[in-house]
Structure 1
Amino acid sequence: MADRECKSCEQKESCDKETCQKEEEQKLKKSLSRIKHKLVILSGKGGVGKSTIAVNLAVGLALKGKKVGLLDVDVHGPSIPRLLSLKGNPPHIEENYIDPVPWSKNLFVMSLGFLIPSEKEAVIWRGPIKMGLIKQFLRDVAWGDLDFLVVDCPPGTGDEPLSVMQLLGTSAYGIVVTTPQQVAIDDVRRSITFCKQLGNPVLGIVENMSGFICPKCKERTDIFLSGGGQQLAQEFNVPFLAKIPLDPEIVRAGEEGYVYVKTHPDSEPAKEINKIVAEALTL
């Protein structure tokens, strides 16, 4: 997908490219004005569970009665459709808008994963095309009035996170996800400075995979060490939101497409995830 050409413009017979661009910018601004709060899930490191956090945060907010949009901008590895058991549910597309895919009555989802014909197909795009897709998802998807838009970004501080932050503006909050070990912290540190350099506030840091609690004996084992996320929060003077332990059921939830925070609300990981939800609700 890419930005629409002038053929979709109401003044297609007489307008020039500059006029079309202005109209599209106005449409983007109008769409974003209907979203109260924007939360961008970031990490400088891959494999830390960003998508899992994004899905459970979005569902957690929806379970609190909030109207939520979940946008997956991971162009090369979109996983949100699988995590929500929405694979095979393409969005309804018209000339001037795209309907997001509903997960519930107040949670709506958009991902490139809905639009790729085959899971085996590689997406080989350079930066400007990615920027165009993300802009189109923000401008043309019929999000409507949202309490929250949760954006799941790929790892790093490259094209996708940069495009998202530039388009959403400085009112968007970053939520930075890490695992406890130093090799992850070194990379995740860059995500915090990324937000600060762009002028975006950091809602806080989430330490994922923080220890394993044996389901039989309940003893806690720090497989990936512990405390790295909390130390990072102290270093940058940003809130430390949650310390989420490993649970095999979280892995199973992702594989089978059900949402952990909904099916295991009384578990320790779900309670930690709900701390992130509670912090978002203070905005």
Structure 2
Amino acid sequence: MDWKGRRGSRNIEDRRSMGVRGGGAVGGVGVIAVLLIGYFFGIDVTPLLNDPGQQQQGGQVELSEADQAAGEFVSVTLADTEEVWGHVFPEQVGSAYRPPVLVLYKGVTQSPCGGASGATGPFYCPGDKKVYLDTDFFTTMSRQLGAGGDFAAAYVVAHEVAHHVQNELGILGKANQVRGQASEADSNAISVRIELQADCLSGIWAREAEDRFGSLQEGDIEEAVNAARQIGDDTLQRNAGQRPMPHTFTHGTSEQRARWFLRGYKAGDMAQCDTFGATRL
């Protein structure tokens, strides 16, 4: 992905110079297993990783060169999503697109949706319409989940922004309202449709980024597809030492995630991302 030296977004809230640090209570393979469970379920597993008695408010945190580069990368990727959806949304929906703010943090931070940490993975909070991201997740993707590459990281950003697109469409609010009144199994099934739709919308972004900016390089789409596969529910459960249990899936299988991303990439049409009306996911 050709991103260096390109325009960055102003909708970045950088909290990385502040943060909470804690002592580790789980080590080695246990950390990986706990993190995978956190990514899979989309929950904060910080209490399993840290001893609350050892957590403390950090002072000024010095950002490394890698931190700076990651921040610039996210800023450029976010700017690309703003330009893409600023065009696609009015053209296909008929109303203006209002972009989200992306919060960069290290360690732990707070959101209206609850605590955010490296254990939660990136997420979108409809309460304040912000995306939350600890860029250390990119390292985890590459080293522990087998989903390396800059476009794999860009896919993660685009996926969370896609949740904001769903929120702007009114889809996310309605789906979450129904989830709140449904059984656990039905709630999980709705969650899968939410996530697969976001994957499809991410594919639309990738197509538009390729056409508009010429920023995609050979192998980039394959990186995104691989990332989608590596964070499928069935793969994450296997990597956590579990037998895949479809009734607990909340994001979709590896095959589904990759297929819906490619559906959006090939079609470029938001109407093709209607996972809620699909008879086959």
The alignment's TM-score, normalised by the length of structure 1, stands at 0.30
The alignment's TM-score, normalised by the length of structure 2, stands at 0.30
| Relative contact order higher in (CA < 8 Å, ≥ 6 apart) | 1
Report which of the two structures shows the higher radius of gyration computed on alpha carbons: 1
- Greater strand fraction, Structure 1 or Structure 2: 1
